[in-house]
Structure 1
Amino acid sequence: MTAPSTAPAPSSGGGRWIEDWDPEDETFWQETGERVARRNLLFSVLCEHIGFSVWTMWSVMVLFMGPEYGLTPADKFVLVSMATLVGAVVRVPYTFAVAVFGGRNWTIVSAGLLLVPTVAAFLVMEPGTSYTTFLVCAMLAGVGGGNFASSMTNINAFFPLRKKGWALGLNAGGGNIGVPVVQLVGLAVIGASGGPRLLLGIYIPLIVVAAVLAALYMDNIASLRNDSGAAKEAVRAGHTWIMSFLYIGTFGSFIGYSFAFGLVLQTQFGRTPLQAAYVTFIGPLLGSLIRPVGGALADRYGGARITLWNYVGMAAATAVVVLASMRESLPLFTTAFIALFVLSGLGNGSTYKMIPGIFRNKALAMGLEGEEAAAYGRRLSGASMGLIGAVGALGGLGINLAFRQSFLSVGTGTGAFVAFLVFYGLCFVVTWAVYLRRPDAQAPPTRAATETKPQLSYAEV
């Protein structure tokens, strides 16, 4: 097989286009594919990492905003909620932008767009600025959340099915680390008695560097272009929405808790901004680092199995958080909350690994084989990832709104955590019922047609 050229080729879309890409071919993968895929993965992680930092920057900014800003705790929860909301919504068009513009081209554009919220906040961040202005700036920061969807859709196309858990976990985990990194930078700025403008000023040149590196070293895959049929088919697929529900439980928890952790420590336990900042980065950092581990475990044991037992762990950790909240035990609360972060990160990796396998199974059920089945799975999983990521991110909005309501109603976050505990129980039931329950254990087949119909097992996905 002729190795694909990564040099610029004539194309109506412009830029660097790879016309032939077959990662499932072992010879092609070893000779050419792996090197190209890893290079694109590296710079995809960088751009997504900065996108996450910009998206979650307001979780740090609100720690800076003392009484002189005139904001209540409820106002601050609304600010971070709006950033979460916009970040979830823009994931849908960001996913499809890869098919329209190409993965490399859109990475350049999406990285450049991060300058808009960063520069805007830099200009207005001072006491006396209206709450509405802050709200608009927080909403603009939501564009950073869209980078995840386009990045995952793009990287999904570069790797073979047997490597997707690891590759997608690394891509997402490297991006997720943008959350604790911006919190650590914020901690350093607070410790140095700097203001929020200093934090923003640090990121402006980093955004420019990321966009330039994407332009120099990334590629577009031609087969991803203008495939609107995949998007429509993904919307109609029931598994897209089932996985969206499960992803609310994992990624929704991760991003929602990342935005809210510092505010909960300040509001419920009376921590100062510096005291809160010393702790808030630990959970997102561990949750990000373990995401590739979740993907690798899913590669080995099956994403559905790992996801199922992960929800058991998340429910147990949440129960401990509820107990600590009721007893007002800060050490126990912090420890259990960090454990919840770790489990959410593990589940992020395992749930995303399930997606390509599910659509590969769907292709086999349709009678497709070999590369045809693999190509169908890549197509549909890539299109569905943006939708799943968008709905999952909306879980972060729900978490922040739940905290806001809980603090307004009873003055603590206990009520919100009880609701989260119930939700994790529902996720456990759905995972088991759809992907792990054995159909043949319910009743024996009664018709010959049933005997000839393929019974697909999702336990390995």
Structure 2
Amino acid sequence: MATAYWDREGEAAQAAPATSFWKAGHTPTLIAAFLYFDLAFMVWVLLGPLAPSIAVTLALTPAEKGLMVATPTLAGALLRVVNGLLVDRIGPKRSGAISQIIVILGLFTAWLMGVNSFGGTLALGVILGFAGASFAIALPLASRWYPPEHQGKAMGLAGMGNSGTVLASLFAPMLAKAFGWNAVLGLACIPLSIVFVAYMLMAKDAPNAPAPKKLIDYFQPLKQADAWWLMAFYAVTFGGFVGLAASLPIYFTDQFGLTPIIAGYCTAGCVFAGSLVRPMGGALADKIGGIKALMMVYIVAALALAGVAFATTLTGALGLFVLAMLALGTGNGSVFQLVPQRFQAEIGVMTGLVGMAGGIGGFYLASSLGIAKQLTGSFSAGFLIFAGLSVLALLGMVVVKTRWRTTWSTAARI
């Protein structure tokens, strides 16, 4: 079937035959989107790996630790809507440049002045939310260059930048031990600045961007049930992923008495699994359809998270977390294979809205684990409730699958 798409020079190739993924879009922009997303995610969850050290210095309670690591997630969720609007009005490249500058200046200021109170950690968390909001920029930046049949792979590869959480888990605890956790905030500015320069040189806005609309028009998708369903599905997949990424360092140190560095290694292994399979999730959804892929995801995630609630050994918990992250990472790619199939014209704002829902899910998981620990002395209740949410998401997919397959114009790809 003939497909219209934009070539590497930005010139329309109307009714061109379907072509390979690497020839269909703009590879430098895809790389730039990945790098930006990767480093942004690294600093977005930075408070998680640093939490054991910060908690000792500031004498934080379990609930305060949970809220501290959850605040960047919530801030990022809300700011994703803002970034989604900016993408559609001023373009993704400029939106990304503004966001990166805010994060770099914020981290530099925090390092220079120091963070000396629980309130200070929350203020820093809000600044780091701008990094989490990169999601609503990096994905449209990359995906607008690609035709529908390659949307899953493009958004999956750009979204693989969530592997930046691995970098935070691996290096932040070691740097904190060597130089102090406050110094890590300043050191993070170095790779961020390097990536900012590369981003400005490599990224290019696609020429087929939709025309700017009135502000109220951007929220028209919320009048449609499909938008809310996609937001709910992503709240579970991405919410589970980022909530665990932020919380696992605390879990491993509190539950099994690991040092922050060893806890960081364990977290990195779990997060790497979820990050690695995100593009595979998009490709899997392209192959078998996002609906089938998500149904499998929710079953595995529910079983793994329920198992974690009763795990008594580090090996058992680690294995179940890896399994959960593999499922959730696959689900992240699968949801964003579906989004452009239904909302191609509103992809910028829908990326922001769906991403916001994912961030809210992550905020809930991270904060609820801290509350559960403080109230019951165990993390189990938090994991069991989120496993239940995975089951509800599965039931929701059962409810909508027939209607989606019979009413969407791209039904053959879902």
Question: What secondary structure, in the 3-state scheme, does the structure 1 residue paired with 2:179 have?
Answer: coil
Question: What secondary structure, in the 3-state scheme, does the structure 1 residue paired with 2:258 have?
Answer: coil
Question: What secondary structure, in the 3-state scheme, does the structure 1 residue paired with 2:107 have?
Answer: helix
Partner of 1:344 in structure 2?
Answer: 328
How far 1:104 moved relative to its partner?
1.7
Alignment of 1:360-399 (within 5 A): 377-399=343-365
Give yes or no for the alignment of 1:45 onto 2:34: yes
How far 1:69 moved relative to its partner?
2.4
Supply the AA of the counterpart residue of 2:16: E
Partner of 2:238 in structure 1?
Answer: 251
TM-score (ref. length: structure 1):
0.82
- Measure, in 1, the Cα distance between the counterparts of 2:112 and 2:103: 15
Supply the AA of the counterpart residue of 1:402: S
Partner of 2:95 in structure 1?
Answer: 106
- Measure, in 2, the Cα distance between the counterparts of 1:97 and 1:383: 9
1:338-393 CA-to-partner distances (Å, cap 9, x unmatched) read 21111110111111101122x2xxxxxxxxxxxxxxxxx52123331210111111
How far 1:63 moved relative to its partner?
2.5
Do the aligned residues in 1 keep the contact of 2:63 with 2:367 (CA within 8 Å)? no
Partner of 2:164 in structure 1?
Answer: 178
Do the aligned residues in 2 keep the contact of 1:235 with 1:384 (CA within 8 Å)? no
Partner of 2:271 in structure 1?
Answer: 284
Give yes or no for the alignment of 1:353 onto 2:343: no
Supply the AA of the counterpart residue of 2:401: Y
- Measure, in 2, the Cα distance between the counterparts of 1:342 and 1:241: 24
Q: Percent identity?
A: 24
Partner of 1:199 in structure 2?
Answer: 184
Do the aligned residues in 2 keep the contact of 1:304 with 1:460 (CA within 8 Å)? no
Give yes or no for the alignment of 1:26 onto 2:16: yes
Do the aligned residues in 2 keep the contact of 1:153 with 1:383 (CA within 8 Å)? no
Question: What secondary structure, in the 3-state scheme, does the structure 1 residue paired with 2:378 have?
Answer: coil
How far 1:439 moved relative to its partner?
9.2
- Measure, in 1, the Cα distance between the counterparts of 2:413 and 2:68: 41
Question: What secondary structure, in the 3-state scheme, does the structure 2 residue paired with 1:142 have?
Answer: helix
Do the aligned residues in 1 keep the contact of 2:5 with 2:12 (CA within 8 Å)? no
Q: Which of 62, 65, 68 is 2:51 aligned to?
A: 62
Question: What secondary structure, in the 3-state scheme, does the structure 2 residue paired with 1:412 have?
Answer: coil
Question: What secondary structure, in the 3-state scheme, does the structure 2 residue paired with 1:26 have?
Answer: strand
1:219-252 CA-to-partner distances (Å, cap 9, x unmatched) read 2235334234762332222211100000011000
Note closer, same or farther for the CA distance 1:26–1:188 as it changes in structure 2 (3 Å cut).
Answer: farther
Supply the AA of the counterpart residue of 1:263: I
Partner of 2:261 in structure 1?
Answer: 274
Do the aligned residues in 1 keep the contact of 2:79 with 2:133 (CA within 8 Å)? yes
Do the aligned residues in 2 keep the contact of 1:59 with 1:80 (CA within 8 Å)? yes
Supply the AA of the counterpart residue of 1:205: I
Partner of 2:310 in structure 1?
Answer: 323
Give yes or no for the alignment of 1:211 onto 2:196: yes
TM-score (ref. length: structure 2):
0.91
- Measure, in 1, the Cα distance between the counterparts of 2:401 and 2:123: 41
- Measure, in 1, the Cα distance between the counterparts of 2:112 and 2:230: 40
Of the structure 1 ranges 407-416 and 379-388, higher mean CA displacement relative to structure 2 is found in 379-388
Where structure 1 has 5 or more consecutive residues not aligned to the other structure, the ranges are 7-17, 360-376, 441-453
Q: Which of 239, 243, 249 is 1:262 aligned to?
A: 249
How far 1:82 moved relative to its partner?
1.1
Q: Which of 59, 72, 75 is 1:83 aligned to?
A: 72
Partner of 2:152 in structure 1?
Answer: 165
- Measure, in 2, the Cα distance between the counterparts of 1:71 and 1:398: 19
- Measure, in 2, the Cα distance between the counterparts of 1:99 and 1:35: 22
Q: What do you get for the CA RMSD once the two structures are aligned? A: 2.7
Partner of 1:422 in structure 2?
Answer: 388
Do the aligned residues in 2 keep the contact of 1:83 with 1:141 (CA within 8 Å)? yes
- Measure, in 1, the Cα distance between the counterparts of 2:141 and 2:325: 26
Kindly name which structure, 1 or 2, has the bigger radius of gyration based on alpha carbons.
Answer: 1
Give yes or no for the alignment of 1:121 onto 2:107: no
Question: What secondary structure, in the 3-state scheme, does the structure 1 residue paired with 2:170 have?
Answer: helix
Do the aligned residues in 2 keep the contact of 1:287 with 1:346 (CA within 8 Å)? yes
Partner of 1:294 in structure 2?
Answer: 281
Supply the AA of the counterpart residue of 1:251: F
Supply the AA of the counterpart residue of 1:285: F
Question: What secondary structure, in the 3-state scheme, does the structure 1 residue paired with 2:136 have?
Answer: helix
> May I ask how many residue pairs the two structures share in their alignment?
409
> Stretches of 4+ moved more than 4 A in 1?
1-6, 27-30, 436-440, 454-459
Partner of 1:368 in structure 2?
Answer: none
- Measure, in 2, the Cα distance between the counterparts of 1:2 and 1:459: 19
How far 1:420 moved relative to its partner?
1.0
Question: What secondary structure, in the 3-state scheme, does the structure 2 residue paired with 1:75 have?
Answer: helix
